[in-house]
Every structure is written in C-alpha cells, then in structure tokens.
Amino acid sequence: MQINPSFELFHLLSHPKITRKKAQSYLLTDPSLERLLTLHWQDLSQSLHLETSTAKSVYELLRNRHYRQLSARQYSILQPITIYDADYPQTLASIPDPPLILYARGDRKLLQGNHLSVIGSRKPSPTAKNKINVLLPPLIEQSVTIVSGLAYGIDGMSHQLTLDQKGKTIAVLAFGFNHIYPKRHTSLYRTIERNGLLLTEYPPDVKPERWQFPERNRIISGLSQATLIIEATEHSGTMITADQALEQGKDVFVVPDSIFLPEAKGCLKLLQEGAIPITQPQDLLDWWKKSVPNSLK
C-alpha cells in the first residue's frame, strides 16, 4: 500500500502519548514509516516503548477510518511541514534534535535562503536598540532573514526593526497558533503573520509552558547560519540558545560592552569562551561572504 509518510507522521504525533522523542526513536528503525501500518499493537508497544493500554489506543488511531479522516482534514487545513517534505529547511534537518513537524503561517519561502538569529535579554539596556539599529540594516538590505522568538526586549526590537526596514523576519514560537504570548505582542504577531513568517513545532491548541521556550530556542539557532547575541545576562535563556547554537556547529556572534553593564555579562563570558565579537555591520557582512560564498546580493 502506497503511504504518505508526511501524513502518517502527522497522524501518529496527534496521539497525546506519542512524543517527539518516541517518534524519533521509532524512525531509527523505520525511517520512511513503511512498516507503521502493518504493526500489531504488541509491536507498537515494543517499538514505541508504550504501555499496553497506550499501544492499543495508538493501534486504533492508526487504523480507524474515522480518526484517519479527522487527521486528514486537519492535515489539509494546517498544511504542516514535516521532515519528509521538500520545503523542510535543510539547516534544521542537520541539527542533533530536529523538529519532526513544523506549522507555518505567512510566507513559507522565507524558510529558504540566508538566516541570522538575533536574540538577547528580555530586559535590555537603554542602548540595546541603538545596537540593533546599527548592526541589522545592512544585513536586511542584503536579504538576510532575521530570526527571533517574539519575546519582550531584543526579540521584539529585532522583528520590529526588520519590518520597518521592509525586510524578512521569522518568529519562532513556543506555543500553538491559537495562543499568543506575550499578549502585548499581538499586533507584532499579526504583522509578522502578514509580512513575514510565524513558525512553531506545536499544534495550534498547545498553550505556552515554561519548558517549551528553551526547547523552542534550538529551532531559532538551528534555522540560521549563525546567531547574534545583542545583550545577555550571565544566567539566561539567551545563554541556553548560545550553547545550542554551538552544539549545532553554528558560529555565535556577540556585541561586547562595558564590564559594568549587567546585560553584557553573558556576552563577555561568551567572548572568553571563543565567541566572535561584532562591533560594526561590516564584521557580519565579511563573515557572510567568507562562510556562505555567493549568498549575498
């Protein structure tokens, strides 16, 4: 029987007990999902490490015509991007823990091309906006897509500047589309939906939870060729994203600042550990021309 692995993955992950980790583990033995629909519930229990009752309910989900029709309807409406689809970003496919499925609203063409993650403190210093205003416009002019996380502070500033400059921006969310967080960024969310791209690995009804934000950060760094940290305190989510970028083999840029500025302590620590200092936009353009040849205008 001819199967659509993209749909079968979407359908499998619709079961509340099938986590990304469980699905990834199963894919190691059946990467194209060719055997999934032939398995007995006992096989599913073993392959997916499920308790008996859960394995039986997964077996029912996979084979029940009504459930499959419901999933097919949702699949058609949401048009998710899975690891089997041609438009799944190759930069994400190569990271240690890639999302198996992505939900997108906006311009999906932005998933291709040059991407720079721009992240930093939710409570930036008074000079943070000046740093963004100086460093980002030359890259935006070169059609580099600015990727961030819609959070307060540096994220919101980076998205807004890019939109003001008529550039390209992607907001990677830690929740589903039926929820917006923070609420004060609702207008920004809607503008990115119209003029950029909203991206998440969470189905529409998933509410924001604390643990989902650091998990989301691996997508922000993974989608991009490099990550720029404008400001960061020493113990923050920004530092987690920096670690994830380095684990993914991506270069991390930081803006150096005064040793007396609390929002610079994370950046100074990263500089000590080998991050690349950025003091002018030409530093970023030179890196891009060297590391991603023929990619700029």
Interatomic CA distance for residues 267 and 68, integer angstroms: 49
E strands present in the chain: 81-82, 101-106, 115-119, 145-148, 169-172, 197-200, 226-229, 251-254, 276-277
Interatomic CA distance for residues 76 and 106, integer angstroms: 16
What is the dihedral angle through the alpha carbons of 176, 237, 261, 162, rounded to the nearest 10 degrees?
Answer: -40
What is the residue-level pLDDT of the chain in tens, covering all 297 positions? 578 999 999 999 999 999 999 999 999 999 999 999 999 999 999 999 999 999 999 999 999 999 999 999 999 999 999 999 999 999 999 999 999 999 999 999 999 999 999 999 999 999 999 999 999 999 999 999 999 999 999 999 999 999 999 999 999 999 999 999 999 999 999 999 999 999 999 999 999 999 999 999 999 999 999 999 999 988 888 888 888 998 999 999 999 988 888 888 999 999 988 899 999 999 999 998 888 877 776
Structure tokens at 161: 């500047």
Q: Is 204:178 a contact under the CB 8 Å cutoff?
A: yes
3-state secondary structure 130-164: HHHHHHCHHHHHCCCEEEECCCCCHHHHHHHHHHH
